[in-house]
A and B are shown apart, each in its own frame.
Chain A
Amino acid sequence: MEKLQKNINPIPVKTWNWLGVNTAVLEADIPAITDYSKQPVTKGSEKGVTITDIRLHRDTIKFMEKKMDAGASEEMRDFVKKNHNSGYFIEIEEGEKIETPIILQYDLDEENPTLIDDHFILAHENSEATIIINYTSSCIQNGFHSGVTKVFAQKGAVVHLIKVQMLADQDTHVDAISAITDEKGQIDFTLIELGALQTITGCRTQLVGKNSTGTIHSLYFGDKNRKIDINYVQTHQAPESLSSIEARGVLLDHSQKVFKGTLDFIKGSSGSKGKEEEYTVLLSPNVRNRSTPLMLCGEDAVEGQHAVSTGKMDENKLFYLMSRGLSDVEAKKLIIEADFQPILEKIPVIELRDAISTYLRRRLHHV
């Protein structure tokens, strides 16, 4: 067992230490890493896609990794590289448009309580694919997941990566994504963080190609004593690049959340546009909600904006629904589901969308 990682998920520019947002501290000890023996790939054998063990491609991806930000932290990246017990190199061939989503389903259980996964997605020129990685857990003891996913969208390629985390209440989830887009490349993330006792998750996209695009749509849900630390960074390194971050969340009980979202316009990114929005609904007097929307700008000819809004649920909406006969709890559930719906609709697999809705409804029973 080893202790780890006090300085994970750092924001790109530090601020006052007393606010506690500069980095995250992993509170659980890392358990002994055992094998993960299940086969996670459930779909994705279509023509134009190859999915192979990442260890066979270390040399291929080395030069691409060098260009990438560390994501959560160097320390964590090294830990995953050294200890990973699952990992795939997913390659989409040039010009191929993959219709069926590629799905990796990871499920922690008593025989597989630890997962350290390391993935690399390479979308060659003008290819297109959707990849879904879903983490669930039926662990009775503390499950542990730590993973790194890297994405490289070459010229004109489009990658939609969906990550859904519905781990059990006592589990730990530490996840980092690093991504790079070439000219006219596009990487869209849909990131759903619903479970685990502690979640530390980061996503960094470097828009290195002219006219490239990076978007993040994110949902989080905190209840009980959950702690969530989210760190998204969109770095505009090329002219006329576009980015957006949209996050929505609900906090109740004694849950705590830190949301860090950064738009970074590097010198030379003229004509770029970035937008960030975070909207949090608070449903308990005991929650703690921290937001850190950073905007860093070294280029004059750009447009950046961010907005954060936090508060109680809209009283007018509640009143309206309750005047139509719904109970307080039913009305709140409906409003939350409606708030989440635009992001959930980005998941193209209906069964998964339904599973998330069912999971959320169960968790919302006491709002």
Chain B
Amino acid sequence: MDKKKTVIEDIDRGLYDIKNEDHYRYKASKGLTSQIVLDISKEKNDPEWMREFRLRSLEIYNQIPMPTWGPSLHELDMDDIVTYVRPDTEMKGKWHEVPDDIKDTFERLGIPQAERESLAGVGAQYDSEVVYHSVKEELVKQGVVYTDMESALREYEPMIKEYFMKLVTPNDHKFVALHGAVWSGGSFVYVPPGVQVEIPLQSYFRLNSPGAGQFEHTLIIVDKGAKLHFIEGCSAPKYNVMNLHAGCVELYIKEDASLRYSTIENWSRNMLNLNTKRALVEKNGSIEWVSGSFGSKISMLYPRSILKGEGARAEFNGVTFAAGGQVLDTGAAVIHAAPYTSSNINSRSISKGGGVAVYRGAVKVAPNAHHCKSLVSCESLMLDDLSRSDTLPVIDIQNDEVDIGHEAKIGRISEEAIFYLMSRGISEQEAKAMIVRGFAEPIAKELPLEYAVEMNNLINIELEGTIG
């Protein structure tokens, strides 16, 4: 008799797939030309240096070839992508001022409720612009800045000029160059020295317009000894045309500061998600990434931590769930560029129904980074033979005072573990259920409560047989 296999249901996207009518105040023409870039710059009233930066980025974009590795991006046709859509509203500071259809979208996604219950500030972006922004008064009094990037460019121009795309430069790769040319929206956060922001800030990115791209820029500076938890969420309804997301996240963590950056990414299945995230961590600072990747048709997402100061730390906890038709090429990279730095990467992936989950990682240790430690652990569950799961890590070490380990596993549920649990009085069925649920648990427990619930809804596991 054929052994029954574990059934994992597809994600119910009903909530995310509700689409609004495509109202907009301004929409760029399809494609990517210097005139379109100039039009966006004019529409946004950029300062001169930013206009030049956009044009230089476009030049770089035109010079850099498409990546020669990773998933095929042959479906991406920039001539069909609209790079800028200004929604039919200004940015508001109160939810009731936001137009009803947009507000309803965020209500359905639970953002205003989360703001009331558990967040210190919220930014909500709809298509290319932030439509709502608020931050609690006590944080403002402490000097915390949390605003949209356009406002930041006007109000904190010297700081933006100093940090904007200095960590992720347009030369890094083709889609960052594209981002530099057409970016719009996103968030700016500055936490002054010593300020501990105990409850999280959250930005939510919603793309509504069919065939559009979203290119938000997130810039966070956590100054000396300060602390922040930032949450990013994103979604889009499904259309029959390809959408593109090429955002950019730059995180500066100063001496003794710490930042936790959590993301649940749940784009629709017509989305190419080519996001770039990077953190620069100074002496004794720490960055902690928590990442859940569930949506999109193709994702290429590898948060990179650069441990620049002595004693800096990075931690990455990520879970990926690739269903049929999806290629989720995700992972993490850590550059140990100073002595006594440490990193810990913990990645879990599940693939089913023809989905492809790839872990792509790198740990690089510079010649001067003596006494550094790194541990990488990857585990994969593949639930049928239609799917794929690949692990592609690279370790590059350039001195001898290191302690580096990597381990990866793929396979069935351990029979020994089931036997052990059953010997403690738990039924076989429940033992298997516990093990499968436990697979994603190390990541889920790192998420804020409401996101952990969302993740559990996303991975709706119905146990009927064994894994494998």
Task: List the interface of chain A (C-beta within 8 A of B).
Answer: 13-17, 19, 21-22, 267-268, 270, 282-312
Q: Which residues of B contact A268 (CB under 8 A)?
A: 385
Q: B67-81: which residues lie under 8 A (CB-CB) from chain A? A: 68-70
* Beta-carbon contact of A303 and B412 below 8 Å: yes
Give the size category of B's interface with A.
Answer: 35 or more
A302 and B406 in contact, given A19-B396, A284-B400, A308-B395 (Cβ under 8 angstroms): no
- Closest chain-A Cβ to B312's Cβ sits at a distance in Å of 20
Q: Which residues of B contact A284 (CB under 8 A)?
A: 400
Q: Is B388 an interface residue (CB 8 A)?
A: yes
A304 and B393 in contact, given A15-B360, A16-B69, A285-B399 (Cβ under 8 angstroms): no
- Closest chain-A Cβ to B116's Cβ sits at a distance in Å of 43
In whole angstroms, what is the CA distance A310 to B407 when docked?
Answer: 12
Q: Which residues of B contact A295 (CB under 8 A)?
A: 390-391, 408, 410
Q: Which residues of A contact B50 (CB under 8 A)?
A: none
* Beta-carbon contact of A298 and B385 below 8 Å: yes
Q: Which among A288, A297, A299, A309 is the interface contact of B396 at CB below 8 angstroms?
A: A288
Task: Report the 6 A-B pairs with minimum CB-CB distance, sorted nearest first.
Answer: A282-B400, A303-B411, A14-B69, A308-B406, A295-B391, A307-B407
* Beta-carbon contact of A296 and B390 below 8 Å: yes
Q: Which among A14, A294, A299, A309 is the interface contact of B405 at CB below 8 angstroms?
A: A309
Q: Which residues of B contact A285 (CB under 8 A)?
A: 367, 370, 399-401
Q: Which residues of B contact A267 (CB under 8 A)?
A: 385
Q: Is B427 an interface residue (CB 8 A)?
A: no
Q: B244-302: which residues lie under 8 A (CB-CB) from chain A? A: none
A300 and B383 in contact, given A292-B393, A310-B395 (Cβ under 8 angstroms): yes
Among residues of B, the one whose C-beta sits closest to the C-beta of A287 is B400
* Beta-carbon contact of B392 and A13 below 8 Å: yes
* Beta-carbon contact of A17 and B383 below 8 Å: no
* Beta-carbon contact of B68 and A300 below 8 Å: no
A291 and B394 in contact, given A22-B69, A285-B367 (Cβ under 8 angstroms): yes
- Closest chain-B Cβ to A253's Cβ sits at a distance in Å of 11
Among residues of A, the one whose C-beta sits closest to the C-beta of B382 is A300
In whole angstroms, what is the CA distance A300 to B380 when docked?
Answer: 10
Among residues of A, the one whose C-beta sits closest to the C-beta of B302 is A16
* Beta-carbon contact of B400 and A290 below 8 Å: no
Against A, the Cβ 8 Å flags (1 = close, 0 = not) of B397-431 are 11111111111111110000000000000000000
- Closest chain-A Cβ to B466's Cβ sits at a distance in Å of 10
In whole angstroms, what is the CA distance A124 to B397 when docked?
Answer: 44
Q: Which residues of A contact B396 (CB under 8 A)?
A: 19, 288-290
Q: Which residues of A contact B404 (CB under 8 A)?
A: 308-311
Q: Is B459 an interface residue (CB 8 A)?
A: no
Q: Which among B69, B385, B411 is the interface contact of A304 at CB below 8 angstroms?
A: B411
In whole angstroms, what is the CA distance A22 to B67 when docked?
Answer: 13
Q: Which residues of A contact B468 (CB under 8 A)?
A: 300-301
* Beta-carbon contact of B399 and A305 below 8 Å: no
In whole angstroms, what is the CA distance A16 to B400 when docked?
Answer: 24
In whole angstroms, what is the CA distance A289 to B374 when docked?
Answer: 14
Q: Which residues of A contact B114 (CB under 8 A)?
A: none
In whole angstroms, what is the CA distance A291 to B407 when docked?
Answer: 12
- Closest chain-B Cβ to A185's Cβ sits at a distance in Å of 24
Against A, the Cβ 8 Å flags (1 = close, 0 = not) of B189-211 are 00000000000000000000000
* Beta-carbon contact of B389 and A297 below 8 Å: yes
In whole angstroms, what is the CA distance A297 to B382 when docked?
Answer: 9
In whole angstroms, what is the CA distance A155 to B435 when docked?
Answer: 39
- Closest chain-B Cβ to A46's Cβ sits at a distance in Å of 43
* Beta-carbon contact of B403 and A290 below 8 Å: no
- Closest chain-B Cβ to A298's Cβ sits at a distance in Å of 5
In whole angstroms, what is the CA distance A299 to B179 when docked?
Answer: 37
* Beta-carbon contact of A294 and B390 below 8 Å: yes
Q: Which residues of A contact B388 (CB under 8 A)?
A: 296-298
Q: Which residues of A contact B68 (CB under 8 A)?
A: 14, 17
In whole angstroms, what is the CA distance A299 to B389 when docked?
Answer: 9
- Closest chain-A Cβ to B8's Cβ sits at a distance in Å of 12
* Beta-carbon contact of B394 and A301 below 8 Å: no
A302 and B410 in contact, given A17-B68, A297-B389 (Cβ under 8 angstroms): yes
Q: Is B362 an interface residue (CB 8 A)?
A: yes
A282 and B69 in contact, given A294-B390, A297-B389 (Cβ under 8 angstroms): no
Among residues of B, the one whose C-beta sits closest to the C-beta of A307 is B407
- Closest chain-B Cβ to A308's Cβ sits at a distance in Å of 4
